[in-house]
A and B are shown apart, each in its own frame.
Chain A
Amino acid sequence: MKYVDPYIPEDPVAEEAELLQGLREGDAQAFEKLVRWHFGRLFAVANRILRSETDAQDAVQEAFVMAYRAMDRFDGRSKLSTWLHRITVNAALMRLRKIKRLHEVSVEDLGPKFSDEGYRRDVGPTWKRTAEEDTLEQERADQVHEAIAQLPESYREIIMLRDIEQLDTEQTAKALGIKPGAVKTRLHRARQALRELLDPYMQEAGV
Protein backbone atom coordinates (compact mmCIF):
# COMPACT_ATOMS: atom_id res chain seq x y z
CA MET A 1 0.00 0.00 0.00
CA LYS A 2 1.21 3.49 -0.81
CA TYR A 3 1.79 5.71 2.21
CA VAL A 4 1.83 9.50 2.16
CA ASP A 5 2.57 12.25 4.68
CA PRO A 6 -0.27 13.28 6.96
CA TYR A 7 -1.69 16.79 6.89
CA ILE A 8 -0.23 18.75 9.80
CA PRO A 9 -1.61 22.29 10.20
CA GLU A 10 0.66 24.98 11.61
CA ASP A 11 -2.00 26.40 13.88
CA PRO A 12 -4.27 23.50 14.96
CA VAL A 13 -6.75 25.71 16.84
CA ALA A 14 -7.32 28.07 13.95
CA GLU A 15 -7.37 25.17 11.51
CA GLU A 16 -9.97 23.29 13.52
CA ALA A 17 -12.28 26.32 13.51
CA GLU A 18 -11.82 26.77 9.79
CA LEU A 19 -12.33 23.09 9.02
CA LEU A 20 -15.44 22.98 11.15
CA GLN A 21 -16.97 25.81 9.18
CA GLY A 22 -16.08 24.07 5.93
CA LEU A 23 -17.46 20.76 7.16
CA ARG A 24 -20.76 22.35 8.12
CA GLU A 25 -21.02 23.80 4.64
CA GLY A 26 -20.39 20.36 3.17
CA ASP A 27 -16.97 21.25 1.80
CA ALA A 28 -15.37 18.00 0.59
CA GLN A 29 -11.85 19.42 0.81
CA ALA A 30 -12.31 20.26 4.48
CA PHE A 31 -13.32 16.69 5.14
CA GLU A 32 -10.31 15.36 3.24
CA LYS A 33 -8.01 17.57 5.32
CA LEU A 34 -9.69 16.28 8.48
CA VAL A 35 -9.09 12.67 7.44
CA ARG A 36 -5.44 13.27 6.55
CA TRP A 37 -4.88 15.20 9.76
CA HIS A 38 -6.45 12.80 12.26
CA PHE A 39 -6.06 9.42 10.58
CA GLY A 40 -2.84 8.41 12.35
CA ARG A 41 -4.00 9.18 15.85
CA LEU A 42 -7.38 7.52 15.38
CA PHE A 43 -5.74 4.48 13.80
CA ALA A 44 -3.50 4.18 16.87
CA VAL A 45 -6.55 4.31 19.15
CA ALA A 46 -8.42 1.63 17.18
CA ASN A 47 -5.31 -0.54 16.93
CA ARG A 48 -4.83 -0.32 20.69
CA ILE A 49 -8.32 -1.76 21.13
CA LEU A 50 -8.37 -4.28 18.28
CA ARG A 51 -4.67 -5.25 18.08
CA SER A 52 -4.99 -5.84 14.36
CA GLU A 53 -4.05 -3.30 11.71
CA THR A 54 -6.69 -4.50 9.28
CA ASP A 55 -9.48 -4.34 11.83
CA ALA A 56 -8.22 -0.98 13.07
CA GLN A 57 -8.28 0.43 9.52
CA ASP A 58 -11.85 -0.82 9.09
CA ALA A 59 -12.90 0.73 12.39
CA VAL A 60 -11.36 4.09 11.46
CA GLN A 61 -13.07 4.04 8.09
CA GLU A 62 -16.37 3.29 9.80
CA ALA A 63 -15.76 6.06 12.33
CA PHE A 64 -15.07 8.69 9.64
CA VAL A 65 -18.23 7.69 7.79
CA MET A 66 -20.24 7.97 11.02
CA ALA A 67 -18.62 11.32 11.82
CA TYR A 68 -19.37 12.60 8.35
CA ARG A 69 -23.02 11.67 8.71
CA ALA A 70 -23.29 13.07 12.23
CA MET A 71 -21.43 16.32 11.51
CA ASP A 72 -24.64 18.38 11.78
CA ARG A 73 -25.05 17.16 15.34
CA PHE A 74 -21.54 18.09 16.47
CA ASP A 75 -22.25 20.92 18.90
CA GLY A 76 -18.71 22.07 19.64
CA ARG A 77 -18.90 21.21 23.35
CA SER A 78 -15.59 19.39 23.01
CA LYS A 79 -12.79 19.56 20.46
CA LEU A 80 -13.48 18.02 17.08
CA SER A 81 -10.53 15.67 17.64
CA THR A 82 -12.00 14.49 20.97
CA TRP A 83 -15.37 13.92 19.34
CA LEU A 84 -13.70 11.89 16.57
CA HIS A 85 -11.81 9.95 19.23
CA ARG A 86 -15.06 8.97 20.95
CA ILE A 87 -16.69 7.87 17.70
CA THR A 88 -13.59 5.81 16.82
CA VAL A 89 -13.45 4.15 20.25
CA ASN A 90 -17.10 3.21 19.91
CA ALA A 91 -16.61 1.80 16.40
CA ALA A 92 -13.58 -0.19 17.59
CA LEU A 93 -15.42 -1.53 20.66
CA MET A 94 -18.36 -2.65 18.52
CA ARG A 95 -15.97 -4.41 16.17
CA LEU A 96 -14.22 -6.01 19.16
CA ARG A 97 -17.59 -7.24 20.41
CA LYS A 98 -18.24 -8.90 17.05
CA ILE A 99 -14.75 -10.43 16.65
CA LYS A 100 -14.58 -11.79 20.19
CA ARG A 101 -18.25 -12.81 20.08
CA LEU A 102 -18.87 -10.94 23.31
CA HIS A 103 -22.42 -10.79 24.55
CA GLU A 104 -24.13 -7.73 25.88
CA VAL A 105 -24.52 -8.03 29.64
CA SER A 106 -27.49 -7.06 31.77
CA VAL A 107 -26.41 -4.22 34.03
CA GLU A 108 -29.19 -5.18 36.47
CA ASP A 109 -27.63 -8.63 36.91
CA LEU A 110 -24.30 -7.01 37.74
CA GLY A 111 -25.59 -4.81 40.52
CA PRO A 112 -24.20 -4.88 44.06
CA LYS A 113 -25.36 -7.65 46.36
CA PHE A 114 -26.64 -7.04 49.87
CA SER A 115 -28.27 -9.16 52.51
CA ASP A 116 -31.88 -8.45 53.49
CA GLU A 117 -30.55 -6.34 56.35
CA GLY A 118 -28.53 -4.20 53.93
CA TYR A 119 -25.11 -5.73 54.62
CA ARG A 120 -22.66 -5.87 51.74
CA ARG A 121 -22.18 -9.39 50.39
CA ASP A 122 -20.48 -8.77 47.08
CA VAL A 123 -16.87 -8.28 48.01
CA GLY A 124 -14.70 -11.27 47.24
CA PRO A 125 -10.95 -11.47 47.81
CA THR A 126 -9.05 -8.18 47.57
CA TRP A 127 -7.88 -7.36 44.05
CA LYS A 128 -4.36 -8.70 43.85
CA ARG A 129 -3.65 -6.86 40.67
CA THR A 130 -3.40 -3.12 40.96
CA ALA A 131 -4.55 -0.49 38.54
CA GLU A 132 -1.01 0.84 38.37
CA GLU A 133 1.11 -2.20 37.54
CA ASP A 134 2.97 -1.72 34.28
CA THR A 135 4.02 -5.23 33.35
CA LEU A 136 0.60 -6.35 32.22
CA GLU A 137 -0.69 -3.03 31.03
CA GLN A 138 -1.69 -4.34 27.60
CA GLU A 139 -3.42 -7.40 28.99
CA ARG A 140 -5.29 -5.28 31.51
CA ALA A 141 -6.31 -2.77 28.85
CA ASP A 142 -7.70 -5.67 26.77
CA GLN A 143 -9.80 -6.77 29.73
CA VAL A 144 -11.14 -3.27 30.23
CA HIS A 145 -11.96 -2.84 26.53
CA GLU A 146 -13.80 -6.16 26.47
CA ALA A 147 -15.73 -5.23 29.60
CA ILE A 148 -16.81 -1.87 28.14
CA ALA A 149 -17.72 -3.57 24.85
CA GLN A 150 -20.15 -5.78 26.74
CA LEU A 151 -22.12 -2.87 28.22
CA PRO A 152 -25.47 -1.95 26.68
CA GLU A 153 -25.21 1.15 24.51
CA SER A 154 -26.70 3.67 26.94
CA TYR A 155 -24.20 2.65 29.63
CA ARG A 156 -21.25 2.55 27.25
CA GLU A 157 -22.22 5.98 25.98
CA ILE A 158 -22.30 7.56 29.43
CA ILE A 159 -18.89 6.11 30.33
CA MET A 160 -17.46 7.55 27.13
CA LEU A 161 -19.04 10.99 27.55
CA ARG A 162 -17.56 11.21 31.03
CA ASP A 163 -14.20 9.57 30.45
CA ILE A 164 -13.41 10.78 26.95
CA GLU A 165 -15.26 14.05 26.50
CA GLN A 166 -14.94 14.71 30.25
CA LEU A 167 -18.41 16.22 30.47
CA ASP A 168 -19.69 16.89 33.98
CA THR A 169 -23.07 15.68 35.23
CA GLU A 170 -24.97 18.72 33.94
CA GLN A 171 -23.33 18.62 30.51
CA THR A 172 -23.92 14.88 30.20
CA ALA A 173 -27.57 15.36 31.16
CA LYS A 174 -27.94 17.98 28.44
CA ALA A 175 -26.16 15.85 25.84
CA LEU A 176 -28.39 12.85 26.55
CA GLY A 177 -31.61 14.74 27.26
CA ILE A 178 -32.05 13.14 30.68
CA LYS A 179 -32.12 14.49 34.23
CA PRO A 180 -28.84 14.94 36.19
CA GLY A 181 -30.10 12.41 38.74
CA ALA A 182 -30.55 9.84 35.99
CA VAL A 183 -27.00 10.54 34.74
CA LYS A 184 -25.61 9.81 38.19
CA THR A 185 -27.57 6.58 38.55
CA ARG A 186 -26.68 5.33 35.08
CA LEU A 187 -23.01 6.20 35.49
CA HIS A 188 -22.85 4.44 38.84
CA ARG A 189 -24.52 1.32 37.43
CA ALA A 190 -22.14 1.30 34.49
CA ARG A 191 -19.09 1.55 36.76
CA GLN A 192 -20.50 -1.06 39.13
CA ALA A 193 -21.09 -3.44 36.19
CA LEU A 194 -17.53 -2.87 34.94
CA ARG A 195 -16.24 -3.61 38.44
CA GLU A 196 -18.08 -6.94 38.44
CA LEU A 197 -16.87 -7.82 34.94
CA LEU A 198 -13.25 -7.06 35.88
CA ASP A 199 -13.47 -8.71 39.28
CA PRO A 200 -12.41 -12.27 38.29
CA TYR A 201 -9.40 -10.97 36.37
CA MET A 202 -8.33 -8.51 39.05
CA GLN A 203 -8.49 -11.15 41.75
CA GLU A 204 -5.97 -13.37 39.96
CA ALA A 205 -2.52 -13.24 41.42
CA GLY A 206 -0.18 -11.05 39.37
CA VAL A 207 2.94 -12.63 37.90
Chain B
Amino acid sequence: MTDKPCQHDHSHDGMLLCSELAQFLDDYLDGKLEGETLEKFEAHLKLCPPCVQYIESYKSTIHMTHKALCECEEDEAPKEVPEALVQAILHSCTGCKGEED
Protein backbone atom coordinates (compact mmCIF):
# COMPACT_ATOMS: atom_id res chain seq x y z
CA MET B 1 0.00 0.00 0.00
CA THR B 2 1.25 3.44 -0.83
CA ASP B 3 1.21 6.16 1.80
CA LYS B 4 1.28 8.89 -0.76
CA PRO B 5 -2.14 10.50 -1.02
CA CYS B 6 -3.29 11.90 -4.33
CA GLN B 7 -1.56 15.16 -5.01
CA HIS B 8 -4.09 17.37 -6.68
CA ASP B 9 -5.58 20.41 -5.03
CA HIS B 10 -9.05 19.69 -3.69
CA SER B 11 -9.39 23.07 -2.13
CA HIS B 12 -11.27 24.95 -4.82
CA ASP B 13 -15.03 25.12 -4.81
CA GLY B 14 -17.25 22.20 -5.68
CA MET B 15 -14.45 19.69 -6.19
CA LEU B 16 -15.39 16.21 -5.02
CA LEU B 17 -13.10 14.58 -2.49
CA CYS B 18 -11.85 11.03 -3.07
CA SER B 19 -13.89 10.02 -0.03
CA GLU B 20 -17.05 11.51 -1.59
CA LEU B 21 -16.70 9.52 -4.79
CA ALA B 22 -17.87 6.21 -3.31
CA GLN B 23 -21.53 7.21 -3.03
CA PHE B 24 -21.71 7.82 -6.80
CA LEU B 25 -19.46 5.00 -7.97
CA ASP B 26 -22.00 2.24 -8.69
CA ASP B 27 -24.34 4.68 -10.44
CA TYR B 28 -21.40 5.93 -12.48
CA LEU B 29 -20.48 2.39 -13.54
CA ASP B 30 -24.13 1.66 -14.39
CA GLY B 31 -24.20 4.78 -16.58
CA LYS B 32 -26.86 6.31 -14.32
CA LEU B 33 -24.92 9.36 -13.25
CA GLU B 34 -25.90 12.55 -15.06
CA GLY B 35 -25.70 16.32 -15.08
CA GLU B 36 -23.57 18.22 -12.64
CA THR B 37 -22.73 15.15 -10.54
CA LEU B 38 -21.35 13.34 -13.59
CA GLU B 39 -19.30 16.39 -14.53
CA LYS B 40 -17.87 16.65 -11.03
CA PHE B 41 -17.16 12.93 -10.92
CA GLU B 42 -15.30 13.00 -14.22
CA ALA B 43 -13.46 16.19 -13.31
CA HIS B 44 -12.13 14.41 -10.22
CA LEU B 45 -10.95 11.41 -12.25
CA LYS B 46 -9.07 13.68 -14.66
CA LEU B 47 -6.98 14.95 -11.76
CA CYS B 48 -6.72 11.89 -9.55
CA PRO B 49 -4.78 8.81 -10.77
CA PRO B 50 -5.30 6.89 -7.48
CA CYS B 51 -9.09 7.06 -7.92
CA VAL B 52 -8.80 5.99 -11.57
CA GLN B 53 -6.68 3.04 -10.49
CA TYR B 54 -9.08 2.20 -7.68
CA ILE B 55 -12.07 2.26 -10.03
CA GLU B 56 -10.28 -0.03 -12.49
CA SER B 57 -9.74 -2.62 -9.76
CA TYR B 58 -13.32 -2.15 -8.51
CA LYS B 59 -14.58 -2.81 -12.04
CA SER B 60 -12.41 -5.92 -12.30
CA THR B 61 -13.84 -7.12 -9.00
CA ILE B 62 -17.40 -6.81 -10.31
CA HIS B 63 -16.43 -8.58 -13.53
CA MET B 64 -14.67 -11.45 -11.75
CA THR B 65 -17.48 -11.90 -9.22
CA HIS B 66 -20.01 -12.05 -12.00
CA LYS B 67 -17.97 -14.59 -13.91
CA ALA B 68 -17.33 -16.77 -10.86
CA LEU B 69 -21.04 -16.98 -10.04
CA CYS B 70 -22.55 -17.38 -13.50
CA GLU B 71 -24.65 -20.35 -14.48
CA CYS B 72 -22.59 -23.11 -16.05
CA GLU B 73 -22.73 -23.90 -19.73
CA GLU B 74 -24.79 -26.97 -20.43
CA ASP B 75 -21.80 -28.94 -21.71
CA GLU B 76 -20.05 -28.69 -18.35
CA ALA B 77 -22.82 -30.72 -16.77
CA PRO B 78 -22.42 -34.49 -16.48
CA LYS B 79 -24.60 -36.35 -18.96
CA GLU B 80 -25.87 -38.81 -16.36
CA VAL B 81 -27.36 -38.67 -12.92
CA PRO B 82 -26.19 -40.87 -10.00
CA GLU B 83 -29.34 -42.77 -9.04
CA ALA B 84 -28.34 -43.34 -5.41
CA LEU B 85 -27.92 -39.61 -4.85
CA VAL B 86 -31.27 -38.82 -6.46
CA GLN B 87 -32.86 -41.34 -4.11
CA ALA B 88 -31.02 -39.84 -1.13
CA ILE B 89 -32.26 -36.34 -2.06
CA LEU B 90 -35.84 -37.54 -2.48
CA HIS B 91 -35.61 -39.44 0.77
CA SER B 92 -34.30 -36.49 2.78
CA CYS B 93 -37.00 -34.25 1.32
CA THR B 94 -39.97 -36.50 1.90
CA GLY B 95 -38.40 -37.15 5.29
CA CYS B 96 -38.23 -33.45 6.10
CA LYS B 97 -41.80 -32.80 4.96
CA GLY B 98 -43.29 -33.41 8.39
CA GLU B 99 -40.74 -31.18 10.14
CA GLU B 100 -41.95 -28.03 8.38
CA ASP B 101 -42.75 -25.22 10.75
Q: Report A's interface with B, CB cutoff 8 A.
A: 1-6, 26, 28, 31-32, 35-36, 39-41, 43-45, 48, 57, 60-61, 64-65, 68-69, 81-82, 85, 89, 112, 114-115, 117-127, 130-131, 140-141, 144-145, 148, 159-160, 163-164, 184, 187-188, 191-192, 194-195, 198-199, 202
Contacts and interface: CB of A to CB of B under 8 A. Distances in A.
Contacts of B78: 40, 43-44
B65 A39 contact: no
Contacts of B43: none
A65 B83 contact: no
Interface residues of B, number: 57
Nearest to B26: A188
Contact residues of A: prevailing secondary structure: helix
A127 B60 contact: yes
Contacts of B25: 188
Contacts of A64: 89, 93
12 contacts: A28-B90, A40-B77, A41-B72, A44-B72, A44-B76, A45-B71, A65-B96, A81-B71, A117-B17, A119-B19, A131-B60, A184-B26
Contact of A124 (B1, B20, B66, B92): B1
Contacts of B19: 112, 114, 118-120
**Which of B19, B51, B56 has the most A CB atoms < 10 Å from its CB?**
B19
A118 B10 contact: yes
B18 interface: yes
Given A41-B77, A202-B60, A36 B86 contact: yes
A198 B90 contact: no
Interface string B19-55: 1101001110000000000000000000010110110
A148 B57 CA distance: 16
